[in-house]
Amino acid sequence: MRRLVSSGSPFERTAGYSRAVVQGDWCFVSGTTGYDYATMTMPDGVEAQTRNCLATIRKAMDEAGFALADVVRCHYYVTDASFADIVFPILGEAFGEIRPAATMIVCDLIKPEMLIEIEVTALRQR
């Protein structure tokens, strides 16, 4: 059974995607940027954006019936390689004991204020 999870972001309907899709024991969380969806604002720094990304991901996974401990794969997209040293400790707080497979890519994102985007895949623990 397929179930769609929304974060309430207006971008989801406009761009035709879901924050997360649950398919059986799998949860696929879309690339998530650092917007605070309650205020529709973007913090200036990569540290605050990373924390917002993780909060949005946690909320979507909770709604989907998953936990961060279920994450098996992470993709991190940053706009500057120097951000790695800033975000690694934050990512370690979230995933340090879980230790999912992960990749960090330096690239442009679709809006200049976006400094990081995080995408995760989870498999429900049995």
Predicted confidence (pLDDT) per residue in 14-37, tens digit: 888 999 999 999 999 999 999 988
pLDDT of residue 38: 83
Distances (CA, A) of 3 to 18, 23, 63, 122: 10, 7, 11, 14
pLDDT of residue 29: 97
In 26-66, where do the E strands start and end?
Answer: 26-33
Average pLDDT over every residue of 46-55:
97
pTM score over 0.75: yes
Residues 99-111 pLDDT 10s: 999 999 999 999 9
pLDDT of residue 1: 86
Instruction: State whether residue 123 is helix, strand or coil.
Output: strand
